[in-house]
Structures are given as structure tokens and as C-alpha cells.
Homo-oligomer: A and B are copies of this chain.
Amino acid sequence: MKLALAQLNYHVGDFESNKNKIISHIKKAKQNGADLVVFSELCVCGYPARDFLEFDEFISQCEASAKAIAAVCTDIACIIGLPTPNHNLEGKDLNNSAYFIENGQVKAIVNKALLPNYDIFDEYRYFEPSTEFGCIDFKGHKIALTICEDLWNTIENPLYITRPMDILIKEQPDVMINIAASPFAYNHDEERIAILGDNAIRYNLPLFYVNHVGAQTEIIFDGGSLVFDNSGKLVDELPYFEETLTYYELAKDGAITLQQPSTAKNVRETDIEQIHQALILGIRDYFYKSGFKSAILGLSGGIDSAVVCALAAEALGAENVMAVLLPSKFSSDHSLKDAEDLVKNLGCKHEVVAIKNITEAIETALHPQFNNLPFNIAEENIQSRSRAIVLMAMCNKFGYILLNTSNKSEAAVGYGTLYGDMCGGISVIGDVYKTQVFELARHINRNKEIIPENSIIKPPSAELRPGQKDTDSLPEYDILDRILFEYIENRCSSAEIIKMGFDEATVKRVIRLTNLAEHKRYQTPPILRVSPKAFGMGRRMPIVGKYLS
């Protein structure tokens, strides 16, 4: 049997484009003599469709697409994923399904049994888990078809009490196919390879695994579809962050012959290399899928906005990036110079809008109320918010989308101004700790200096008061980020983190700041997710709650 794996970039809710993409790949695979072409989980509607799934009209559209796709499946079979009505009276209204289509007909329907409902996932919100399992006979093969999470229950202390392959294996299948929607995080590729390889070994079967690629707002799918032989050996690993269609000959004895050179990796990319590619795809798809072309951002001369500017120029083209320098009376000369150097290196557009007269007008208007009270965070925030007003006015006038440039460390401890530098349509590096931002800057500069060296080496500062430095109010970033990682990613208590050797007062202060900033993070833009635990839908904390640590 000749199999084709289609690793594609869909758009949530864009039935026309998704359907056309699937159909054109079926035709292409047919031309290339494939017997079966496999698409990914819920490819018909895109993933995650969220509460679109609660609209009957949406489900009808899925079925209509499936019908059109089935119509072209002659002399080739295909597997597609879509939500389908649960015809049992009891239970949720939908199933997360895979259609096996042959001769223009749906020959078999497989429903997902293990429904991820952690981090960013909400599948039990919509779907009834399957309790019925059966293999599919095709061209002399018996296929055990499962959907994503269905294979992810082989670990110790598993999340679910059933394991679909334990039931399917009784029918003696000779191949496993798994269709997935498994989002990127910088450690997730290795985890996938380990878990899926373990399945191949455990069931002594070859495994074909097809993932999504592309970003849906903050969720980035990295592709990296996988093929294992029945010894658990990784025989192919599809490219990351790009679409592809690949072919395999599967013999009756389980032997797999590649129809193209294997792209299985000998050396894995570093986390930073992966994050870099993920962010480029995240920016590009955010703009492309929302129908916008041009980004705007405020350039401070610091490293965060410099990195975001460089990423945006790479993703959208420098000609589609407008960098705005917004000096205040506290801005240092080198800040302007560093920002100008970056603009020159990138070749993007730029403007300079001084905010001094704006902040003065605000402070003057408030003079009767403030009545000579000392300068404090109120005046600091007025500067940050004045910049946001200018940037948003330019968005409204010229149709830009504002890129948010906050990093994960400052988003964590609330070192940012709500409605000020926390504004934006999408947060580019809000899931990248400051220490990782430095690595990213070095990586961007790997071939030549793009981000001015001075932006990288000078002490980070918000420049909202004279001589201000981040370390005046925060620990050094290498300490801060390690504490934050233990609290956010690992959900450790302050006692546990202190036991690791960190200073008690520092730990308690960092965690307290993180908790206090929950109400700010609630109102920030979606954050491109590159870690296993990003702020946003994947981390749902109470706002008015008493925090422990």
C-alpha cells in the first residue's frame, strides 16, 4: 500500500480554503499513485475551533465539506478529521471524528476516546469520548486508526483510565495511523518522538503520525509528522514549520520504503532555534489569517522591542513594519541611537513622535487633583500610556496592527503598564523569558549584527524615571527567570523553591508580584505560545483569589 501524509496549514472556520487545500492534495496524491492520503485531526474546520463548535451551522458546514471531499476520493482513499453529531441521545452533542473515505463513501468512522482537557485544551467541553473501537480493512491491510491523545496514555500515572490501542490490538492490525493536532512547545518534539516510538514498540506495529502546521492566533502547530517502523525506529520526521506531502510504501510484513529522502534528524535544533521559527510562523499566520499586512511597534532602544522588530521584519518583510521611536524626557541618547541603528540594519519604516508635550498636557490637566504629590508610578504609567495612545492612533489611521513587546519575565511580575506597553494585537515574546530573549537576540545576530550590540549588553531599563534600571526593583534576570520557571512551569510552592537554594525573601517577592499581576495579564493580548505553560488560555488563575505563596 502506498501512503501519503499531508501535513498542512489550515485556518479555523475557513471551510472553503481548508476544503480546497484537502482536495488539491488528494488529487496530487492520486497523481502520484498513492492508495491512501492521511490528513490531520479536525482538518476540515481547523484546530482549535473553540465555541464555533457550539453552532449547528458550523457542524453542518463540516459535513458539507466532508461530502465534497468524499466526491473526489475515487481510486484513492483518504482520512480526514472533523467534528460530527453524536447520534446517541445521552452524552455531549459531538464526537471528534476521523472519516475513512473510499470510493466516494465514508467507509468507517473513528471517534476519539481520550479528550485532552488541560492547559490550552478544552475537548471535553464539546466532545463525548468514544467507547467503541474497531480496525479498518483496506488493500489487504488492517489499520488501527486513532486520534492524537488516544496514543498518549502510555506514561506512568496516565490521565485516562482507558487505552484505545489495547482494545484495537486484539483485532491484530498491521499498521497504526494517528491523526493529530499537537501544538508546538520547545520541548514537545522530543516528547512526541518518545511517546509515539514507545507505542510502536509496545504494539510492535509501524506508526504513521500526521500533525498540523501553522498558527491559529496564539497556538502554533509545528508539523514534524512522524513515521516509525515496528521496532520503534524513527524512519521519517517531516519538516517543522512548513507544509509537506510525503509518500511511503508499506509492505504486508510492515516494512516501510520511503519515496523521498528521509528527513529524520540526527541533530535536534536548539530550543532557541525552534522558538525563533515558531515566532516567525506565529506572526506571519496572525497577519495573514486576519487579513492584515502591516505591523507597528514602539522601539525603545532596548532588547525586547528590537527582537520583536527583527522577528516582524523577517515574518512580514521589513517594508511592512513601522517602528516608532517615542522618546520622553527620560529617554537616554543611546536609546534613540540604538533604535535608529536597528531600523537601519533592518530597513524598516520608522517615525519619531516625542511624547513630552503629551505627558505634560496630562499632568497639567491633573494638577488640581494631584496637587504637587510626589512623582510616582502614576507619572511613570502616564508615559507608557501616552506611547500606547500614539501607537494606537496610528493603527486606527493607517490600518496597522500593534505588536506587543513584553517578555514573559515582565508579564509574570507585572513589570509593565496596563493600557500602556501591555497593549497590542498579539504578544510576540510574552512566552519568552528575558534570559531567552537575550539568546534569541544572539541567534538573530548569528550571521551579522542586526540587533545593535549595545541593545544587548546595556542594563535593561524602562526609562520611566531618571537613571532607572530593571534591577532596581527586580532580581537579576537569571535568578528571576529560574524562580519564575519553577513557579509557573513546574507549579512549585515558595517553600519548594526556597529549598532549591534561592533566597527566601526574593522567592516570596517574585511569587507575590506574579500573583498580584494576574488582573493585568487577564487584559493583555493573546501571547504566541512556545513553552509548555504560557500565560493565557493555558493558565487559568483566579483574579480575586487569595494566593498561597
A residues near B, CB below 8 A? 11-15, 17, 46, 48-52, 54-58, 61, 88-93, 117-118, 122, 124-125, 128, 156-161, 216-217, 285-286, 289-290, 351, 353-355, 357-358, 360-362, 364-366, 368-370, 373, 376-379, 381-382, 385-386, 388-390, 392-394, 396-397, 418-419, 423, 425, 491, 493, 495-496, 519, 522-526, 537, 539-549
Contacts and interface: CB of A to CB of B under 8 A. Distances in A.
Copies in the complex: 2
A382 B376 contact: no
20 contacts: A12-B546, A13-B548, A52-B547, A55-B548, A57-B549, A90-B157, A90-B161, A93-B157, A117-B122, A118-B125, A286-B544, A351-B369, A353-B369, A357-B361, A357-B364, A362-B390, A378-B394, A381-B396, A386-B389, A419-B423
Contact of A12 (B52, B117, B373, B542): B542
Nearest to A373: B397
B217 A543 contact: yes
A171 to B, nearest CB: 23
Contacts of A48: 542
A377 B526 CA distance: 24
A290 B547 CA distance: 11
Contacts of A50: 540-542, 545
Contact of A389 (B124, B161, B389, B423): B389
Nearest to A363: B393
A378 B397 contact: yes
Interface centre among A216, A376, A541 (most CB of B within 10 A): A541
Nearest to A90: B161
A335 B160 CA distance: 60
B396 A51 contact: no
B393 A91 contact: no
Contacts of A496: 57
A56 B491 contact: yes
A181 to B, nearest CB: 14
Contact of A362 (B285, B389, B418): B389
Contacts of A158: 89-91
Given A544-B290, A546-B13, A370 B397 contact: yes
A115 to B, nearest CB: 8
List of 6 A-B pairs having minimum Cβ-Cβ separation, nearest first: A361-B361, A378-B396, A57-B493, A14-B546, A12-B545, A13-B546
Contact of A358 (B15, B358, B373, B388): B358
